[in-house]
Structure 1
Amino acid sequence: MEQERDRRIGVVVVAAGRGERAGGTVDGPKQYRQIGGHAVLWHTIKAFLDWPHTGPIIVVIHPDDEDLYRLMAAQLPGSHDIAVTFGAPTRQLSVLQGLRSLAGKGVSHVLIQDGVRPFIDRALLDRVRDGFMTGHSALLPALPVTDTIKRFSSDGRVVTTVPRDDLCAAQTPQAFKYEAIFRAHEAAATSGLNGFTDDASIAEWAGIPVQVIEGSADNVKLTTRKDIAMADEKLGGSLPDVRTGNGYDVHQLIPGDGVTLCGIFIPHDQKLMGHSDADVALHALTDALLATCGAGDIGDHFPPSDPQWKGAPSRIFLEHAAKIIRQNGGTIMNVDVSLIAEAPKVGPHREAMRQKLSDILGISLERCSVKATTNEKIGFVGRREGIAAIATASVVFRRAS
């Protein structure tokens, strides 16, 4: 029986506001601002998706925000019964639209939630459900008022101090028996009453007894730019998105007239065998850069079976990887290449190699490192049968805004 009741707890998330106090006309609606790498509204909805007793969800959005909502919703995990409806000029009428959209979905109770309260915790939701189970028709999460409250006049002078013993600060989700709050909202709209600031006020007006339950100190409403910045910091969103990629490549040495390493040709009595110019250093570095944004490896983008890459200069591959990084919002901070070879000597060409990397990647010389070592005559490198390269790249990605 409990499972049947659980499935009948619907949710209306109100997210149709413009949020001018948070700079809505400049920065976009606050419910779509990024905190912790996702939109505020994403965090709000996900809290209900993570609660096992959530039934159908109605999200009330502004007609102008369809694209923003679609982008946000695409990042929500799993599948759930989530529907969208358009809001109205006031929050009160927007809630009514959400309640109307729940009609016919078989819900017995409804939770009405501000879209910009992203820090609802499961314990609060469980307290709401417990209140339903004990037969309450309306539940208001709230916290006692701890600040001293003053009433003041139009000219800014204090008139009196308001006793706070029986005062509380209301939160959402406010929870109701569905039919009762739906009828109350419809009656208020029919009567032309539009001054209600929350749904509990409408319940009080309609004579529905409202029970106060313990709220949550973390369940804050994000109202201003500062609120959003603090929420982002709380979720770790202020930390830079720094990623490191590694690459390794090896090519066989055969008789020839020289090798190309880091884009620099070095005369030698051997050459590297490969489909392109076999620049083992740039191949390894290309893989390292692609790794920072999960873009596969060099073979995915330039398959050796494709004849167009036969003898191609490997700088093409590195430039392509750098382009992918930038298209994904990344900035290359540092690259480091270690060459492992008995010969030829890399030292005399190191600065030219660094400069070549700087030119190809468009980063400063100080961010390009090239090192070389021998393999102490051990293994295939020691026997001068091949050259190996290990590369590391550090990239910072900007967060979506």
Structure 2
Amino acid sequence: MRDVSEKQAADDKVAVVIVAAGRGARAGQANGPKQYQQIGGGAVIARTLDAFLTHPKIGAVVVAIHAEDDALFRRAAGANADRVVAVTGGTSRQESVRLGLLALRSNAPGRVLIHDAARPFVDAELIDRTIAAIGERQGALPALPVADTLKRETAEGMIGETVSRAGLHAAQTPQGFPFWPILAAHEKAHHLGKADFTDDAAIAEWAHIPVKIVPGSPDNVKLTWARDIAMADQRLSSAPRFPDIRTGNGYDVHAFEPGDHVTLCGVAIPHDRKLSGHSDADVGLHALTDALLATCGAGDIGTHFPPSDPQWKGAASRIFVEHAVKLVRARGGRIANADITLICEAPRVGPHREAMTEALSAMLRISRNRISIKATTNEKLGFVGREEGIAAIATASVVFPGDVPE
């Protein structure tokens, strides 16, 4: 079993255990377990993972999968498979949750959500409501009031009585808890051989952990039957959809200092001065790094490569760009276009544009016709016009997986 690293289990984040080890027999086995079946062009579990991995309050994500499903899970999760910790689940949902919680123990979060992989329509607002209701000794359960009239059946298949629905709710997930109390409850149930709990709120109730009900969502349905899968696929396939294309921009400037060349867009250009900076001061690549990071909300270049860190002294700025590319691709992004404008009076950029384009093509792993490098002067105005330094503006467009609703 893999454990969650200290970096993944940041104290201010909420961890998640996603239960995905079941066989889903009621949904039919022709297309495999229900969490891996296709809805709207992607696997059920892929949509579930995306809901949590894109939420700003979520930290470590653990997925409990069946022992035989590692390849199936990685194929369905795509790039997100490397952003979660996959553990082997148990023979029951209850045991899978316990094993998922144990994977978080060495670097324990303060709070944890427990969610069924087969609820792919969970949304950010429901996650927020659940997290907000978790206390130091209190859990949270999203639920909907029961609307249907309830009848109790006799052994003979007849109506025995009408059950009052006052105060009755249908439970959903994610269910949220303070980490240590819910882990202790699961461990106690395991050691006592109590394996008949149908959800984690029931275990919390048994362990005398109060659980607050928060409003659930009617869209947050659990896919149980083959018909549920078909309806979910129809729902996603018929909705108006738009590509998830994101654009980021970056700006950087460096002053001149004594030297014999400048490095621009990865190319060394002879000049009577060089640019001052902690790295090689490649103003074009620094702006491009920020533009790429912006497309996936990953901060800026200083977040990842602080100038106070001596290891980056004199470093080639292609390292920064390639790191940003790796982050974009880890999130499933495909770089569609990169555009850089260099603003300087000298040196001349034109003779080196082809070499710059070639260098960027290798760094970004995109074709040359998706790269634009332009140069302009500042008409002798400002610090650029006085030839005190060089500025750069960069724009990057990235296509991410999935669609954004209208």
CA deviations on 1:300-323 (whole Å, 9 max, x unpaired) are xxxxxxxxxxxxxxxxxxxxxxxx
Aligned to 2:163: 162
Per-residue deviation, 1:137:
1.7
String of CA shifts for 1:183-212, please: whole Å, max 9, x gaps: 000000000001100000000000101111
SS in 2 for 1:176: strand
Q: CA deviation at 1:172?
A: 0.2
Name the residue aligned to 1:233. Answer: 234
- Pairing partner for 2:28 from 7, 23, 28: 23
Q: Is 1:103 aligned to residue 108 of structure 2?
A: no
Partner of 1:93: 95
- Checking the alignment, whether the CA contact within 8 Å between 2:10 and 2:59 is kept in structure 1 is no
C-alpha distance 83-4 of structure 1, shift in aligned 2 (>3 A): closer
- The secondary structure found in structure 2 opposite 1:184 is helix
Does 1:43 pair with 2:47?
Answer: yes
Where do 5+ consecutive residues of structure 1 fail to align?
A: 240-401
Take 2:78 and 2:213, find their aligned partners in 1: how far apart are those partners? 36
Match of 1:62 in 2: 66
Q: Which AA in structure 1 matches 2:101?
A: L
Partners of 1:37 and 1:237 within 8 A in 2: no
Residues 282-310 of structure 1: CA deviation (Å, up to 9, x unaligned): xxxxxxxxxxxxxxxxxxxxxxxxxxxxx
Aligned partner of 2:122 in structure 1 is 120
Moved over 2 A (4+): 3-6
Partner of 1:372: none
Alignment RMSD (CA, Å): 2.1
1:377 matched residue in structure 2? none
Q: Does 1:6 align with 2:7?
A: no
Distance 2:12 2:233 in 1: 32
Other structure's SS at 1:76 match: helix
User: C-alpha displacement at 1:125, in angstroms?
Assistant: 0.9
SS at match of 2:52: helix
CA distance in 2, matches of 1:215, 1:160: 28
d(CA) in 1 for partners of 2:131, 2:154: 42
**Contact 1:56 1:105 survives alignment (8 Å):** no
Partner secondary structure for residue 111 of structure 1: strand
Post-superposition Cα deviations, 1:45-98, rounded to whole Å, max 9, x if no partner, equal 100011100010000000111111010122439x73x10001111111111010
> TM-score, normalised on structure 1?
0.56
The structure with more radius of gyration: 1
Alignment equivalent of 1:73, drawn from 58, 73, 77: 77
Give the letter for the 2:208 counterpart. G
Alpha-carbon distance in 1 for matches of 2:239, 2:23: 24
Q: Deviations over 1:96-115 (max 9, x none)?
A: 01000111123011000000
Residue 249 (structure 2) aligns with? none
Which letter does structure 2 place at the counterpart of 1:100? L
Distance change (3 Å), C-alpha of 1:212 and 1:238: closer
* Mapped partners of 1:101, 1:143: distance in 2: 31
Q: How does 1:2-401 map onto structure 2 within 5 Å? A: 5-7=11-13, 9-24=14-29, 26-76=30-80, 80=83, 82-132=84-134, 137-236=138-237
Pair 1:136–1:191, CA change in 2 (3 A): closer
SS across alignment from 1:159? strand
Does structure 2 conserve the Cα–Cα contact (< 8 Å) formed by 1:87 and 1:97?
yes
Q: Partners in 2 of 1:72 and 1:225 — Cα distance?
A: 19
| Paired AA for residue 6 in structure 1 | D
Counterpart-to-counterpart distance in 2, 1:89 and 1:238: 37
Distance 1:116 1:95 in 2: 14
Normalising by structure 2, what TM-score? 0.55
Query: For the residues of structure 2 that align with 1:30 and 1:164, how far apart are their CA atoms?
Result: 31
Q: Which SS does the other structure have where 1:197 is aligned?
A: coil
SS at match of 2:68: helix
Instruction: State the distance in 2 between where 1:237 and 1:89 align.
Output: 36
Shift of 1:6: 3.3
> What is the alpha-carbon distance in structure 2 between the residues aligned to residue 37 and residue 237 of structure 1?
12
* Rounded Cα–Cα distance in structure 1 between residues aligned with 2:57 and 2:118: 21
